[in-house]
Amino acid sequence: MPIFSAFGLAAALSAAPATAPDTLEQRIAACLSCHSVKERGDAYFPRIAGKPAGYLYNQLRNFRDGHRHYPMMTYMVAHLPDAYLREIADYFAARHPPYAVAAAGSAASASAAQLARGEALVRQGDAGKKIPACVSCHGAGLTGVEPAIPGLLGLPSDYINAQFGNWKSKTRRAAAPDCMADIAGRLSVADVAALSAWLSKQPPDASARPATSLPAPLPIACGSVPTPAGGAQ
């Protein structure tokens, strides 16, 4: 081979694009463009790192199967099989990056009375409205419970407000009985604002992890939460 041809071949090879590594992280790079490693969290792209894998898997299936509606998410998962969705859920559940400072959003102007009402709903619920305390399902530390109940800290108030709105309007649904839709229907607009304000102002513990179990049975039937016998609550 002439020497100039050898140099030309070497140059061509060096200019060729490198083959991307076939890793799960590479294949879900599109997810990371919104749910980034920094997990900034906002009204559209919440923190998902560290949430129970069962919860994340349920949400991916809900987007795919039309129970939750966000066009970008539906497009991303529309043709993915259950096994692949489980891989994605396991990937994010195993990550625990530092929490970013939650955007103030609508919580910035919350009054002391609103915050007190929000904390009361979180810790005691409202028996008169048949609203259970958030801690009775999401754990005493609000860090979620394995395998399918999410934590509530580290989310901006606007995102929390939006999700309650979606449950109220039935554009977000889960397996029947849909416990969160039932609870959302019992909360007033003022209650939702109070809850979102108080929750968004709580500093998450970076070392906290979802609880492995609840100390007592769920106070309301919830189709997305498996029972110890293997069925759904």
In the numeric block, the tokens 């039937």 are attached to 221
Instruction: Quote the number of domains for the chain.
Output: 1
Say if 95 falls within a structural domain. yes
% of the chain at pLDDT higher than 70: 85
What is the CATH number for 163? 1.10.760.10
Tens digit of pLDDT for each residue in 74-113? Answer: 999 999 999 999 999 999 999 998 887 766 677 888 999 9
| Of the ranges 11-15, 23-27, 202-206, the best mean pLDDT one | 202-206
pLDDT of residue 231: 44
Q: Is residue 181 part of a domain?
A: yes
CA dihedral 75, 174, 82, 35 (to 10 degrees): 50
Cβ–Cβ contacts within 10 Å for residue 108, how many? 11
Crossing angle of helices 157-169 and 189-200, rounded to 10°: 150
Find the length of the chain: 233
> Which domain covers residue 103, as residue numbers?
25-200
Q: How far apart are CA 90 and CA 179, in angstroms?
A: 24
- Assess contact for 180 and 233: CB atoms under 8 A: no
Instruction: Classify residue 39: in a domain, yes or no.
Output: yes
Q: Please answer whether residues 118 and 194 qualify as being in contact, where contact means their C-beta atoms are separated by less than 8 angstroms.
A: yes
With respect to residue 210, please indicate whether it lies within any of the assigned structural domains.
no
DSSP-derived secondary structure letter, 207 = T
Q: How confident is the model at residue 15 (pLDDT cuts 50, 70, 90)?
A: low
Name the residue with higher pLDDT: 45 or 201: 201
Task: Output the six-digit token pair for 119.
Answer: 């904390």
Model pLDDT, residue 22? 79
Is 215 a domain residue?
A: no
pLDDT in tens, 21-79: 778 888 888 888 888 755 656 677 888 999 999 999 999 999 999 999 999 999 999 99
pLDDT at 7: 53
Instruction: Determine, yes or no, domain membership for 57.
Output: yes
Q: Is residue 232 part of a domain?
A: no
pLDDT in tens, 101-160: 766 677 888 999 999 999 999 999 999 999 999 999 999 999 999 999 999 998 889 999
60, part of any domain: yes
